[in-house]
Amino acid sequence: MKKGFFFTVTFFIALASFAQKKHTISGTVTDAKTGETLLGANIILLENHSMGVLSNSYGFYSITAPENTYTLVASYTGYVNDTVRLSLIKDQMLPLALRPETRQLEEVVITGRRSDNITRTLPGMQKVSMEEIKNVPVIFGEKDILKTIQLLPGIKSAGEGSSGFFVRGGSADQNLILLDEATVYNASHLLGFFSTFNSDAIKDVTIYKGDMPAQYGGRLSSLLDIKMNDGNNKDYKVSGGIGLISSRLNIEGPIVKDKGSFMISARRTYADLFLKLSKDSDVNKSILYFYDINAKANYQFGEKNKVFLSGYFGKDDLGYSNQFGIRWGNTTATLRWNHIFSSKLFSNTSFIYSNYDYNISINQTTNNLSVLSKIKDLTLKEDLQYFAGSKNKVNFGFNLTHHTFTPGEFKTSITSSYNPLTLQDKYAFDGALYLADEWRVSNSLKFNGGLRLSAFGLVGPGDFYSYDNNGNITDTAHYSSGKIAKSYLNLQPRLAATYQLTGFSSVKASYSRNVQNLHLLSNTTGSNPTDVWIPSSNNVKPEISDQFSTGYYRNTVNNKYEFSAEVYYKILQNQIDYKNGAVLVANQTVESQLVYGIGRAYGLELFAKKEYGKLTGWISYTLSRTERKIDGINDDSWYPANQDQTHNVAVVAIYSFGKKWTISGDFVYSTGNAVSWPSGKYEVNGNTVFYYTERNGYRMPSYNRMDLSATLQSKKTAKFEGSWTFSVYNAYGRENPYFIQFQDDPSNRQKTQAVQYSLFRWVPSITYNFKF
């Protein structure tokens, strides 16, 4: 009977299309309960599936169709579909408010809904829902976006306790992390044990593994796009959690009901309170804390304008007695203005301020030293989306950033063993123009083609050095303020195609070029707060990556199970490594310490997910290789990059027992990353020294770990919800290798041995979460 109805309607539409008069339905999709805009909601016209769009990052959608009556269905994971019958005889604004679903335990057959992973035009893109992030156990009981995405295929952890990650063989600085469009330079607290993102304040997390939309650029390997909640514009809500290590509080509510709202979310650790209990005077004077605050306010002026102001302030403070202290933090502030020019043209203008700095102070008898280093960005962005007709969505716009780098200001006292030193500040302009079109060629074929033109200029005032092969300065060029010392222009094509084989399967292919003009200099592979960012210059060329990927995607008929298999191949140019014994700290001529080369990375990513039911979760497997060939290293031949790990497996399972209990667990396994180990030993001045042959010719032992967590909903009424979460990190306490040290055997000086150090064994935690 449904088939007959379908047929009849199609017949009438075919007749009606001869009339050729088209109109546009547009509006914003929101959560009916809180007023939060919904990004990527699926809006289709049942009568013609090809007339379907996804709402944009601000929840805006626009569909153009010939004059007729339609059934519009709006859907979004976790929400009940909204169905509207409408008669399209002129352009109309149709705001859509979706009601959140209560636990989806049964199969729900949704008419005409396709799963996003099949239809999305960009391969290598993954979304993690906040529900999933809240349920995946992470160390210290903290919900952590950065740790959870490391459970997806193609994304690898930079080590125990680190928030750094590697995407498709890229290095830790090749990931663009945006929080409400502001760049976050150091996304970790406390040397990497926690990330800077408080999941209470976050609405959406999307990761693009290399193929990013043309409006983004500046890093080679990935884009992690994080959007903050706008804030409930109907009711005041307070939620939070109290844990062993840290606590959080979230307050949101309307400024004017249904028109504007605000949200403030704050979090702080109190590990330092435990330190104060110590009798040791060095320990009880020590400091160990971090805090962060996410704040946002938005207001709707009339139907066509909405203004947002959001900010993030985070600080870490570590201090040992009064001898040593390090403080670092990110500050970002974004002012955005959404303007709906017409039912087809949407604009977003953003002004963004971002600052990352660290401050080290050392007090040691007469050796007093303080170090300050920072990077400051000011950005202007204009993004326009033109929903042209029913087959094309055009994105175009520009962005311009001014960077100021303060690599280091070293202040010393008169009795200090060190001279004061101020490294020269650096300034750069980083701009781009882009144009992209999502073209629905037919019901089954979609193209996404874009071009990004980036222009980078290193400007004065300053001295710019040239070096010879031995690192000696051969030339010093001086440029005055605003004069361009070096500029780079790069064209970055972005092409992708999706071909739908059936309603539940598709194949995709893509090619994209990315360019990176900011480089992180770090002596280690993971990231440290004291790593230095430098701009491209007359010595350092922009890094370039070309990535080809293709994949097959398939869901089961009811979209209950999702599968994908993706293959990628990436070529990297102008990759940076360091000379032997490179001096990266407090070095005005740090560019003389760098060596350059190429890289390549390729792999297979398999992913299977169960979307709904009592048991949900996913399995991911990555088989990959990433290599480098750098002048002067390993006799100029290819060697595996430090972050190369052949196999990576992650399994996540979340199970709901009735209404009160949820248990979840994850299991990870990976083969070891590439390391340089000795192949012999000798003696110098009476001490054993190890002899190295090739670079990264060995592998660390493999790593595996299981984490478990159980959440009990202790109280749930209309006004108050409370729950307890118990979790244990590394449930079977495996001593996973953190680093390996080679040394003389202390019990037998005639022999040498390898000693493995592990960081964490069992780490239990308890958190109480509340909401009212």
Partner 1 sequence: MAQLLKIKNLASVFLFVCAFIGCKKVIDVKLKNSNGQIVITGEINNRPGPYTVTISKTVNFTSDNDFPRVSGAFVTIAGNGVTDTLKETDPGTYVTHTVNGKMGETYKLFVSVEGKTYTSISIMPQRVRLDSLSFLLGRKDALYAVANFQDPPAVENYYQFIEYINGQKLPNGRGNSVFSDRLSDGRYISRVIYDDSSDIKAGTTLTLQMNCIDKAVYNYLNELQQISGGGSGFSSQAPANPTTNISGGALGYFSANTVTSKTVNIP
Sites for partner 1 among residues 508-567 (CB under 8 A): 523-526, 528, 530
The position carrying tokens 């000086």 is 749
Q: Which of 429, 465, 596, 677 binds partner 1 (CB under 8 A)?
A: 677
Half-sphere exposure of 538 (CA within 13 A, CB side): 20
In the bound complex, what is the minimum distance in angstroms from residue 415's beta carbon to partner 1?
8
Among 5, 12, 762, 772, binds partner 1 (CB under 8 A): 762
* Residue carrying the six token digits 């009735």: 658
**Burial of 7: CB neighbours in 10 Å, binned 0-12, 13-18, 19+:** exposed
Helix (H, G, I), strand (E, B) or coil at 119: helix
Residue 258 gets the label, from left (phi > 0), alpha (psi -120 to 50) or beta, of: left
Q: Which residue lies nearer to partner 1 by CB, 415 or 480?
A: 415
Query: Minimum distance between the CB of residue 728 and partner 1, rounded to whole angstroms?
Result: 10
Q: Which residue in the set 83, 472, 714, 753 belongs to the binding site for partner 1 (CB under 8 A)?
A: 753
If we measure between CA atoms, which residue out of 705, 699, 592 comes closest to residue 649? 705
Sign of torsion, CA 202 206 209 215? negative
The 8 Å CB, 24+ separation contacts for 337-341 are 337/305, 337/306, 337/307, 337/308, 338/58, 338/60, 338/305, 338/306, 338/307, 338/308, 339/304, 339/305, 340/26, 340/60, 340/303, 340/304, 340/305, 341/304
* CA distances in angstroms from 607 to 145, 383, 397, 493, listed in the order given: 19, 33, 34, 27
Q: In angstroms, how far is CA 516 from the centroid of its own chain?
A: 16
Q: What is the dihedral of CA 588, 592, 598, 603, to 10 degrees?
A: -40
Contacts of 93 (CB under 8 A, 6+ apart): 26, 27, 303, 343
Q: How far is the CB of 193 from partner 1 (least distance, A)?
A: 9
Residue placing its CB nearer to partner 1 in the complex, 11 or 682: 682
Residue 424 or 714 having the CB closest to partner 1: 424
User: How many whole angstroms separate alpha carbon 108 and alpha carbon 111?
Assistant: 9
State the nearest-atom distance from the C-beta of 246 to partner 1, in Å.
14
Q: In the stretch 392-411, what mask flags binding to partner 1 with x, by CB under 8 A?
A: ------------------x-
Between 175 and 206, CB nearer to partner 1: 175
Positions in 290-349 near partner 1 (CB under 8 A):
318, 320, 324, 326
Q: Which residues in 119-178 contact partner 1 (CB under 8 A)?
A: 158-159, 162, 164
Residue 195 sits in the site that holds partner 1 (CB under 8 A) = no
Q: Answer yes or no: are the C-beta atoms of 86 and 67 closer than 8 Å.
A: no
Q: Find, among 296, 305, 300, the residue nearest to 347 by Cα.
A: 305
User: Which H/E stretch holds residue 271?
Assistant: helix 271-276
Pick from 371, 432, 601, 650: which binds partner 1 (CB under 8 A)? 371
**Chosen residue from 14, 277, 684, 718 binding partner 1 by CB under 8 A:** 684
The CB-of-589 to partner 1 minimum distance in angstroms stands at 11
Q: In the stretch 590-609, what mask flags binding to partner 1 with x, by CB under 8 A?
A: --------------------
Interacting positions 616-655 with partner 1 (CB under 8 A): 642-643
- Grouping H, G, I as helix, E, B as strand and the rest as coil, residue 192 is helix
Count residues near partner 1 (CB under 8 A): 94
Nearest distance from residue 542's CB to partner 1, in Å? 24
757 binds partner 1 (CB under 8 A): yes
CB of 240 to partner 1, least distance (A): 24
- Min CB(525)–partner 1 separation in Å: 4
Alpha-carbon distance of 25 to 85, in angstroms, equals 12
Q: Among 690, 726, 768, 770, which residue sits at the site for partner 1 (rule: CB under 8 A)?
A: 690
Site for partner 1 in 12-71 (CB under 8 A): none
Per CB under 8 A, the list member of 740, 768, 770, 771 interacting with partner 1 is 740
Q: How many whole angstroms separate alpha carbon 608 and alpha carbon 563?
A: 4
Nearer to partner 1, 90 or 751 (CB): 751
Cα three-residue angle 365-369-371, rounded to 5 degrees: 155
| One residue of 581, 635, 717, 718 binding partner 1 per CB under 8 A | 581
> Using the rule CB under 8 A, is 585 a contact of partner 1?
yes
Nearest distance, CB of residue 325 and partner 1, angstroms: 11
For residue 161, report the phi and psi dihedrals to the nearest 5 degrees: 70, 10
Task: Rule CB under 8 A: choose which of 493, 689, 714, 724 binds partner 1.
Answer: 689
Which residue among 431, 759, 768, 771 contacts partner 1 (CB under 8 A)? 759
Q: What is the dihedral of CA 249, 255, 260, 264, to 10 degrees?
A: -20
Q: How far is the CB of 572 from partner 1 (least distance, A)?
A: 18
Applying CB under 8 A, which of residues 32, 586, 604, 706 lies at the interface with partner 1?
Answer: 586
| Residue among 301, 761, 766, 772 that touches partner 1 (CB under 8 A) | 761
Shortest spacing between CB 144 and partner 1, in angstroms:
17
Query: What b/e string do you get for 431-458 counting C-beta neighbours within 10 Å, with b at 16 or more?
Result: bbebebbbbbeeeeebbbbbbbbbebbb
For residues 92 and 370, which CB has a smaller minimum distance to partner 1 in the complex? 370
Binding of residue 569 to partner 1 (CB under 8 A): no
Query: Residue 39 or residue 190: which is nearer to partner 1 going by CB?
Result: 190
Min dist CB 326 to partner 1, Å, is 7
Subset of residues 242 to 301 that bind partner 1, contact rule: CB under 8 A = 271, 274-275, 282-283, 288
- Tell me the backbone φ, ψ of residue 115, rounded to 5 degrees: -80, 135
Compare residues 149 and 360 and give the one whose CB is closer to partner 1. 360
Stretch that binds partner 1, among 120-128, 337-345, 710-718, 756-764 (CB under 8 A): 756-764
Our CB check for partner 1 shows the closer of 486 and 695 to be 695
Rounded Cα–Cα distance for residues 219 and 206 (Å)? 16
Footprint (CB under 8 A) of partner 1, residues 655-674: 673
Residues 84-123 that bind partner 1 (CB under 8 A): none
Give the Cα separation of 721 and 11 in Å (integer).
Answer: 52
One of 481, 658, 683, 719 touching partner 1 (CB under 8 A): 683
Nearer residue to partner 1 within complex by CB, 474 or 741 = 741
Q: At 57, phi and psi to the nearest 5?
A: -65, -10
Shortest Cβ distance from residue 570 to partner 1 (Å)? Answer: 21
Taking CB under 8 A as the criterion, the residue among 154, 397, 450, 737 binding partner 1 is 737
Give least dist CB 370 to partner 1, A. 12
- Choices 219-227, 394-402, 462-470, 732-740; region in contact with partner 1 by CB under 8 A: 732-740
Kind and range of the H or E run holding 13: helix 2-17
Residue 743 contacts residue 752 (beta carbons within 8 Å): yes
18/691 with CB nearer partner 1: 691
CA distance 642 to 674: 5
What single string gives the DSSP state of each residue in 21-65? -EEEEEEEEEETTT--B-TT-EEEETTEEEEEEE--TTSEEEEEE
Q: Are 52 and 41 in contact (CB under 8 A)?
A: no
The answer to whether the Cα torsion of 657, 659, 660, 666 is positive or negative is positive
108 vs 598 by CB, closer to partner 1: 598
Q: Which stretch binds partner 1 (CB under 8 A): 121-129, 341-349, 428-436, 575-583?
A: 575-583
Nearer to partner 1, 286 or 616 (CB): 286
Measured from the CB atom, the residue of 120 and 189 that comes closer to partner 1 is 189
| Cα–Cα distance, 740 to 752 (Å, whole number) | 13
The conformation of residue 14, written as its DSSP 8-state character, comes to H
Answer yes or no whether residue 760 interacts with partner 1 by CB under 8 A: yes
